[in-house]
Amino acid sequence: MPTAHHGNTTAAAVMSVPLYQAKSEFFRTLGHPVRIRILELLAEGDRAVRELGVQIPVEQSSLSQQLGILRRTSLVASHRIGGEVIYSLTAPEVRDLLLAARRILGDRAAGMGDFENDLAVVRPQ
């Protein structure tokens, strides 16, 4: 049976990646503060790029780059409404993951006040 080639990797080789390795790649994708903030905002609801730019204090080019990474890894999707590009989460479980991380960090920071103000940003619904 022929296999599709993508660079030096075959589709069969990509599919045989151990789950722990796939998880590592997933968490590596999450390993940037701007990407985390984008996902936090999208967990609250769909957002136009313009709205994300107002709420995330980075250069537009950096925001676009991080949105592109999230789009390529299928964590977010985009569509156009009029002249605006709107982003949304592709999996509601991402919100659960962010809330779990918040709880873990909150438990570790309890009594120290390290993240007190930031932990109030995303609340479970």
pTM for the predicted model, two decimal places: 0.74
pLDDT digits (tens, 9 = 90+) for 70-107: 999 999 999 999 999 999 999 999 999 999 999 999 88
More confident residue, 97 or 111: 97
Run of H or E residues at 5? strand 5-6
What pLDDT was estimated at residue 114?
59
Domain ranges of the chain: 19-119
Give the list of residues 6+ apart from residue 94 with CB closer than 8 angstroms, or none: 39, 42, 43, 75
d(CA 60, CA 47): 15
Alpha helix ranges (H) inside the chain: 11-15, 19-30, 33-44, 49-55, 60-72, 93-109, 116-119
d(CA 60, CA 65): 9
Neighbouring C-beta atoms of residue 100, cutoff 10 Å: 10
Question: What topology is assigned to 19-119 in CATH?
Answer: Arc Repressor Mutant, subunit A (1.10.10)
- Beta strand 76-81 with 47-48 is unpaired
What pLDDT was estimated at residue 3?
45
DSSP structural state of residue 90: S
Compute the average pLDDT of residues 19-40. Answer: 95
| Distances, alpha carbon 96 to alpha carbons 2, 10, 78, 101, 110, in Å | 39, 33, 21, 9, 21
